[in-house]
Amino acid sequence: MDGIVLLIEDEEEIADLLRLVFEKEGFRLLHAASGEKGLSLMTERSPRAVLLDLGLPGIDGMEVCRQIRATSDVPIIMLTARDDEIDKVVGLEIGADDYVTKPFSPREVVARVKAVLRRSEQQPEAPAAITIADFEIDSGRRTVRTPAGDVVEPTAREFDLLWHLARNRGIVLSRSQLLEAVWGYDYFGESRTVDVHVRQLRKKLPDVPIETVWGVGYKMGR
């Protein structure tokens, strides 16, 4: 696995450290120290994945994510020193695929990039639909039609999570199982990623029966 990864990060030490690790894994890491430069390189070089710091000078990471997502489905992993969960929720809502909180292990960042690339570059499943509680979950269109006929479009990762739960209706899935199946990586100690996405799905689709199994994980009700 190789290709270009775009790092948008204003801390040179972090950029140098990540460059060493990614290059050992066969990637080429392009570094932009500002949001403006990152958007420019995004257009010029078409990277396979983006590592995006939230706390950037000038255009901040949230706005950079919005602008990238308006034109591209490239996987985006946010790098943040902010421990406030609202920042993570907003980042995921506007289209980030995952986030890593600083300080982080560079090898974990590489593993997460590989995981999102595996997931994003898999051959798509044959279109199908599953109906649960009169909600039609359509994997071809990646939409959900409510009983009232409204169409809801979850984010890409929200839909992947919803679809996996729906396909395994009635089966209790742990957070680590969901991380591996939906995000494509083993448990790194950040299972809140799953919880955040479940909360967002419940806000958008409050009557879809995603049940919490305390101390274990989640299941889709029947």
- Do 111 and 138 sit in the same domain of this protein? no
Are the C-beta atoms of 172 and 217 separated by less than 8 Å?
Answer: yes
What pLDDT digit, counting tens, does each position of 137-157 carry?
Answer: 998 888 999 999 999 999 888
Q: Is the pLDDT of residue 96 over 80?
A: yes
Tell me: do 27 and 102 sit in the same domain: yes
Res 122 pLDDT > 70 = no
Strand order in the sheet with 98-101: 27-32, 3-8, 49-53, 76-80, 98-101
pTM for this structure? 0.66
Q: Which residues touch 158 (CB under 8 Å, ≥6 apart)? A: 197, 200, 201, 204
Residue span of the structural domain in which 159 resides:
129-220
- With 60 as the cut, is the pLDDT of residue 126 above it? no
Instruction: Specify the DSSP class assigned to residue 146.
Output: -
Both 51 and 114 in one domain: the answer is yes
Count of domains observed in the chain: 2
CATH number at residue 27: 3.40.50.2300
Q: Are residues 33 and 76 in the same domain?
A: yes
In angstroms, the CA 38 to CA 46 distance is 11
Ranked by mean pLDDT, the top range of 33-37, 88-92, 194-198 is 33-37
